[in-house]
Structures are given as C-alpha cells and as structure tokens.
Structure 1
C-alpha cells in the first residue's frame, strides 16, 4: 500500500498573495498621513485610515497561513480529507472523477465529482459555494494553489489510491 500523501500550506503560496493588500494598505496609510498633514476633513481621513487598516489586516490574515505547518489535505487508500473544508473523509468509492481546473503548476482547483452530494461540512465550506447553486451539487472544489504540492502530483496520487476514478482534462 502506498503511504498517505499529507499536504501542508506553501509559504510562497501564502506570502506572495499578501503583497497586494499590504501595498494597498500602505498607499491608503500614506494618503491618510498626507491628509492629516494637509489639514483635511477628519471624517475623510478617518475613512482612508480605516481602509488602510482593513487592507493591512487582510494582508496579515493571508500571510499567517504561511506559518501554519499543520496538515491541510490528506489523500490515502481510504479517501481524501481537506481540513480547510470540514475535515470530513470522502471515501474513494464515492468519487466518480477528478479534474485539474488549470494544467501544470498554475493549477488553482482540483474538482472531485462525487456519486452523491457531499456531507454538509464540505458542502457549506467557502470553496464549495457553487455547490449551493442549482448546478454542480455533487462536485467538491479543493483549492490547491496555496498548498506545497503541484496539482499533477495530486492527480497522480488519486490514480494510485483510486484507479477507478476517471481523470478528466
């Protein structure tokens, strides 16, 4: 039997996306300081300062995941489990197909088509918001761009653990 594949967060997959909010927060912060120095209306300066704090907080929220070393996704002979989406085991016998949303290293999503609706803990997770729509009710979306593994490696692991699962392109 193959060893379980335990996947953690990627530091670069968490730090690089945080650059944008930090940059925007810095720009708004500089604008707020300029407004205070120029004697602008206090209400407008307050709104700009709150926007700066909001963007900086978003940046810190995103980057904190880079220091989280716990296992996020597990693939083994029993099925797959995503700690970010309910941490519920989905057995391979309930998986019909898997599809890599975009090929190569830039893949952002791994989509699992199930034979039935996923458990509620997975269905109502943020990554599966489309499952609440009238279409795609049996599809589980797994975000992989922030993990420390390539999408093709995950597809290869699915082929190893569940050869009956169809790989769609």
Structure 2
C-alpha cells in the first residue's frame, strides 16, 4: 500500500469516506447510530474544513472541523467564536495501527489554531480507544455530562468534553 497522505477532503471523496465509515461503524459503533444520509452527516452546515487520509484513490480516514455550538462552548467556558470542534474523526478498519487517527487529529487541531480558535471535541464515554488517543495527544478533559440522546446500550449517553493543546 502507498504511503498515506493527509489532504483536504474533496466532494468526490465522499463515497469512499462512507465506505471507510461503514467499517468503523461495524467495528466500533461510531457513529452511535448510522446516519440516514451519511454523506450529509460528513458535511454538516457548520463545517469549517475536512481532511482525509488517502493512499491512492481510497480514503483511509477522515476528520472534520466545525463551528462549536453553545453547549460545547458552555462546557469549556469560552465563547463559541474562540473554539473549533473536531468531529467526524474515524479510520477505516483496514488502515488502523498506522498513526492515521493521531495525524488526522493533529491536522484538524492545527487548522483550528491557524484560524485563531482553540480545538475542542466531545466523545461518548464508551469510546475508550478514542479517549486514549486524545489523552496521549495532550488533550485535557474539561467536563463530563449526560447527553440528551441515548447510547447504543439504550442508556443516556455520557459525553466527555476535551480541550486541545493551545
């Protein structure tokens, strides 16, 4: 396999992104519920940017950066216009254990800082691998709260909010 490259996501990447997302969903239940329109889920209206890890034409992983909403801003105690939320981070199962998730996380956090914003993210408490990645990368747990949606277990989701390195 060719050496992976991280680059800005293009519209024509979305079908390959959905294929990689499907493998992450099957392995990890991420996202917690399969979106009815996965391409739209990957490109929400609050999007600031998105990047993919690719080897040749195939997308191996994905990350997005979005405007932070009022809930996440309140959780970290900073105005929303000073934050950028890392979202939609996943690596397809066949491309794992190559450092791609960390590289994608770093790219999104760098873009947030370049835009004068502090990177922030939310993660469901059951995503132990993701939580370990964030903590290894120096992200700081700010708060934990019960979300207004149900985890796949049927119980209210518990969400951790992390603030990225400055």
**TM-score grouping bracket, smaller chain normalisation:** under 0.3
More contact order relative to length (CA 8 Å, sep ≥ 6): 1
Query: Where is the strand percentage greater, Structure 1 or Structure 2?
Result: 2
TM-score (norm 2): 0.27
Query: Where is the helix percentage greater, Structure 1 or Structure 2?
Result: 1
Larger Rg: 1
TM-score (norm 1): 0.27
